[in-house]
Copies of this chain bind each other. A is one copy, B any other.
Amino acid sequence: MSKLRGLQSIEFTKCPAIIGHEAVVGKKEGEGPLKAYFDHVVQDELFGEKSFEYAERKFYKTAVELACKNAGLHTADIRYLLGGDLLNQIISAGYAARDLQIPFLGLYGACSTMAQSLLLGSVLIDGGYADTAACAVSSHFASAERQYRFPLELGNQRTPTAQWTITGAGCTILSDEKEANLCITGATVGRVTDYGITDANNMGAAMAPAAANTILCHLQDFGRTVQDYDLIVTGDLGSVGLQLLKEILTQAGINTDSRFQDCGCMIFDPETQDVHAGGSGCGCSAVVLNGYLLKKLKEGAYKRILFCATGAKLSTTSSQQGESIPGIAHAVVIERVK
């Protein structure tokens, strides 16, 4: 049976199993609407380290270790680690991979990396190229702000469309085990999409067209409608991007009802947490998925969800040269099978 679906999608016939998952979040994330679901909240933004970058890699490493433990495995049992982060040269993932000593496949999909790692991890498991794979992603508010925007010490005002980069990391353990109750059944690889956004404080608008493109392509490739999903959740569009996504999809004839949600809108309370348009960063979809959504799937709140993480390919170098910020979105289908 062909595993190719339509133009950009894959069907996993052996259903790679999710056997463990964990999220580690910062203090602010642990005070938001999902606080009851986050078991590991780190109060110190430096996580006991000497810099935000060292802290971020500790979030990454800790998430992998805890997810392995959650799966009843040691890190040495994991065949391959797939993932990345937002820092130049994906140093959080790279140094964590050095410390963990798991064979490492580094990915860069900006904030779409959680979905990209699940997609490629599922290919490895489904095809019989790995028996276990850890898919992990991190971000840190302070390391991201100083790399992409301004030093925090400058105290710059944030614009209304700005999003707040999540401090945290999430890890999913995939396996060829047959007895798990959650598995990944399909995926869609995204195209780089560019509507000409140049504002580094409006990532939602940069990513929304990519999310729309991937969701529409996914539905077409699988011959499904939005009613086939209990939840279609985007990575970190935030309130501005989610609104734009709904507008684009409505124009395409899609009924954008309450099943369309966004990790960036779920993680913070807009009334009390002063995050403007919501959460962002590749840790955002990673911690919402691994800390909250997978638990809701297990509890029976959802049967099948489309997890569509969205990335803005923001680069200070290309922004300084006048380029726009293209977006990309990858999607995976996660189902409760028993």
Contacts and interface: CB of A to CB of B under 8 A. Distances in A.
A103 B3 contact: no
B123 A116 contact: no
Interface string A177-195: 0000000000001111110
A84 interface: yes
A2 to B, nearest CB: 7
A143 B123 CA distance: 34
Contacts of A147: 317
Contact of A316 (B88, B107, B128, B318): B88
Contacts of A95: 192, 318, 323, 326
A255 interface: no
Interface residues of A, number: 60
| A80, A105, A191, A192, most chain B CB atoms within 10 A | A192
A91 B319 CA distance: 11
Contact of A128 (B4, B102, B119): B4
Oligomeric state, in copies: 2
Contacts of A3: 127-129
Nearest to A109: B106
A105 B130 CA distance: 19
Interface in A275-328: 313-318, 321, 323, 326, 328
Contacts of A141: none
Contact of A108 (B50, B90, B326): B90
Interface in A81-139: 84, 87-91, 94-95, 97-98, 101-110, 116, 119-120, 123-124, 126-131
27 contacts: A3-B127, A3-B129, A4-B79, A7-B79, A51-B321, A53-B317, A84-B108, A88-B316, A88-B317, A89-B110, A89-B314, A89-B318, A94-B192, A95-B326, A97-B191, A97-B192, A98-B192, A98-B193, A98-B326, A101-B191, A101-B192, A102-B191, A104-B192, A108-B108, A120-B120, A127-B128, A147-B317
Interface of A: 2-4, 7-8, 10, 50-51, 53-54, 79-80, 84, 87-91, 94-95, 97-98, 101-110, 116, 119-120, 123-124, 126-131, 147, 189-194, 313-318, 321, 323, 326, 328
